[in-house]
Amino acid sequence: MSTKSKFMERFGQRARTRDVVPVSSGSPVRLSLGFLHGANTPEAARILVKRQLPLRTAHAILTEVVDHGKAFVTVPCVNDLLALKNELSSAGVIAKVHAPRPISVREVRDRTKLSQEAFSVRYGLDLATLRNWEQGRSKPDVAANTLHWTIARNPEAVEESLDMDDGVAAQSP
């Protein structure tokens, strides 16, 4: 049985979105979504469409929640995160921000007791970029923030992920 039919079987007709007035401004927000008991998926779809998520994408995300218990989505236009979370909650959908909070790169490095040079080599970072982050000239993007949180929580995992010895001996030039 296809996913689409499982979804339709469980939740009925598609959400009508013609009467939904989309919000006009806001920023994208990454969320993880899950269901509470008795979720109203047509209403959840309307809430997501209101934040300028295409209906097809909203349907696919809610189908993924049905099938796997959780899904991840970037909602394009969120001007009030708390209001969005409350609206989704009233429709039986749990929404959590799915992005790392900013973390001090300097504090992470200080905890490792490594110099900037040693830290950049150990964790695969460009030394100049690390210096720019620590001196406030630039900020880490989401992927770099995720890496820093991982280093802070489990530095060995990052080290292991960078060990790429595939058994081939290094060739001299």
Domains in the chain, CATH or no CATH each = 3-97 (3.30.1390), 105-162 (1.10.260.40)
pLDDT > 70 fraction of the chain, expressed in percent and rounded? 83
- The whole-number pLDDT of residue 23 equals 74
- The whole-number pLDDT of residue 1 equals 45
Q: Where are the alpha helices (DSSP H) in the chain?
A: 3-11, 41-50, 55-68, 81-90, 105-112, 116-122, 127-134, 142-153, 155-162
pLDDT band at 37 (very low <50, low <70, confident <90, very high): confident
Asked if residue 26 lies in contact with residue 77, where contact means CB atoms within 8 angstroms, the answer is: yes
Q: Model-level pTM?
A: 0.66
pLDDT of 61-103, one tens digit each?
A: 999 998 999 999 999 999 999 999 999 999 999 999 998 889 9
Cα separation, 138 vs 132, in Å, equals 6
Average pLDDT, the chain: 86
Closest CA to 63 of 9, 25, 121: 9
Cα separation, 117 vs 70, in Å, equals 40
